Amino acid sequence: MTDVDTSPPTHPAAIDAVPLRHPWRWVASVVIVVLVALFVYGAATNEAYRWHIFAEYFFNDRIFMGVSNTLQLTVYSMVIAIVFGVILAVMRLSPNPVFRSVSWVYLWIFRGTPIYVQLTFWGLIPTIYKNIQLGVPFGPSFFHLDLQALSIPFLLATLGLALNEAAYMAEIIRAGISSVPEGQLEASTALGMSWGMAMRRTVLPQAMRVIIPPTGNEVISMLKTTSLVTAVPYTLDLYSIATREIAAREFEPVPLLLVAAAWYLVVTSVLMVGQFYLERYYSRGVSRKLTTKQLEALAKAQQIGEAGHV
Amino acid sequence: MKPVVDETPTPMVKAESVCKSFGALEVLKGITLEIGRGEVLVLVGPSGSGKSTFLRCINHLEQVNAGRLYVDGDLIGYRDRGSKLHEMSPRDAAKQRRDIGMVFQHFNLFPHRTALENIIEAPIHVKRVKKNDAVARGKDLLNQVGLSEKAEAYPAQLSGGQQQRVAIARALAMNPKLMLFDEPTSALDPELVGEVLEVMKKLASEGMTMVVVTHEMGFAREVANKLVFMDGGVVVESGPPREVLASPKHERTKAFLSKVL
Say if residue B98's pLDDT is above 70.
yes
Structure confidence at residue B229 (pLDDT):
95
B126–chain A nearest CA distance, Å? 6
Judged by a CB distance cut-off of 8 A, whether residue A195 touches chain B is yes
Chain B residue numbers with beta carbons less than 8 Å from the beta carbon of A287 are 156
B109–chain A nearest CA distance, Å? 7
Chain B residue numbers with beta carbons less than 8 Å from the beta carbon of A201 are 121, 125
Say if residue B171's pLDDT is above 60.
yes
Contact A183 B106 (CB under 8 A): yes
pLDDT tens digits, B99-144 = 999 999 999 999 999 999 999 999 999 999 999 999 999 999 999 9
Contact B108 A184 (CB under 8 A): yes
Which residue, among B165, B172, B229, has the nearest Cα to A190 in the 3D structure?
B172
Q: What are phi and psi of B93, to 5 degrees?
A: -65, -40
pLDDT tens digits, B203-228 = 999 999 999 999 999 999 999 999 99
Cβ burial, residue B29 (10 Å; 0-12/13-18/19+): middle
For residue B152, the chain A residue with the least C-alpha distance is A294
B121–chain A nearest CA distance, Å? 9
Find out whether A229 and A72 touch, Cβ atoms under 8 Å: no
Residue B122 CA from chain centroid, whole number: 18
Structure confidence at residue A151 (pLDDT):
66
Query: What is the helix (H) or strand (E) element at residue B18, kind and residue range?
Result: strand B13-22
For residue B176, the chain A residue with the least C-alpha distance is A191
Contact B104 A205 (CB under 8 A): no
Q: What are phi and psi of A140, to 5 degrees?
A: -70, 155
Judged by a CB distance cut-off of 8 A, whether residue A305 touches chain B is no
For residue A291, the chain B residue with the least C-alpha distance is B153
Reduced 3-state DSSP string for B22-67: ECCEEEEEEEEEEECCCCEEEEECCCCCCHHHHHHHHCCCCCCCEE
ipTM: 0.89
Chain A residue numbers with beta carbons less than 8 Å from the beta carbon of B101 are 190
Contact A192 B108 (CB under 8 A): no
Chain B residue numbers with beta carbons less than 8 Å from the beta carbon of A186 are 61, 104, 108
> Which of residues 244 through 263 in chain A touch B, CB cutoff 8 A?
none
**Pick the residue with more confidence: A235 or B201?**
B201
Structure confidence at residue A149 (pLDDT):
62
A79–chain B nearest CA distance, Å? 24
Contact A288 B157 (CB under 8 A): yes
Q: What is the value of pTM for the model shown?
A: 0.78
With bands split at pLDDT 50, 70 and 90, how would you rate the model's confidence at B58? very high
List the pLDDT tens digit at each of the 310 positions of chain A: 556 767 777 788 888 888 889 999 999 999 999 999 999 999 989 888 889 889 988 998 999 999 999 999 999 999 999 999 999 999 998 888 999 999 999 999 999 999 999 999 998 888 888 777 777 777 777 777 766 666 688 999 999 999 999 999 999 999 999 999 999 999 999 999 998 899 999 999 999 889 988 998 899 999 999 999 988 888 888 998 888 888 888 888 889 999 999 999 999 999 889 888 888 888 777 776 767 777 777 777 777 776 655 4
Structure confidence at residue A1 (pLDDT):
53
Judged by a CB distance cut-off of 8 A, whether residue B171 touches chain A is yes
What is the per-residue DSSP string for A72-125? HHHHHHHHHHHHHHHHHHHHHHSS-HHHHHHHHHHHHHHHHS-HHHHHHHHHHH
B112, B159, B172: best to mutate for the A interface, most A CBs within 10 A: B112
For residue A181, the chain B residue with the least C-alpha distance is B108
Strand partners, B78: B87
Chain B residue numbers with beta carbons less than 8 Å from the beta carbon of A294 are 152-153, 157
Specify the range with the lowest mean pLDDT, choosing from A36-45, A287-296, B2-11, B147-156. Answer: B2-11
Structure confidence at residue B210 (pLDDT):
96
**Inter-chain CB pairs, A–B, below 8 Å:** 77
Query: What is the helix (H) or strand (E) element at residue B100, kind and residue range?
Result: strand B100-103
Partner residue opposite B94 with nearest CB, options A183, A186, A194? A194
Structure confidence at residue B4 (pLDDT):
55
Judged by a CB distance cut-off of 8 A, whether residue A187 touches chain B is yes
**Mean pLDDT taken over chain A:** 87
Judged by a CB distance cut-off of 8 A, whether residue A192 touches chain B is yes
Partner residue opposite A183 with nearest CB, options B108, B114, B170? B108
Chain A residue numbers with beta carbons less than 8 Å from the beta carbon of B94 are 189, 192-194
What's at A23, amino acid-wise? P
Which residue, among B226, B230, B220, B250, has the nearest Cα to B240 in the 3D structure?
B226
CA distance B143 to B161: 15
Judged by a CB distance cut-off of 8 A, whether residue B87 touches chain A is no
Query: What is the helix (H) or strand (E) element at residue A141, kind and residue range?
Result: strand A141-146
Structure confidence at residue A310 (pLDDT):
46
Contacts of A41 by beta carbon, 8 Å cutoff, 6+ apart: none
**Percent composition of chain A: helix, strand, coil (DSSP 3-state, to 5):** 75, 5, 20
Find out whether B225 and B5 touch, Cβ atoms under 8 Å: yes
Contact B153 A195 (CB under 8 A): no
For residue B171, the chain A residue with the least C-alpha distance is A191
pLDDT tens digits, A149-171 = 666 889 999 999 999 999 999 99
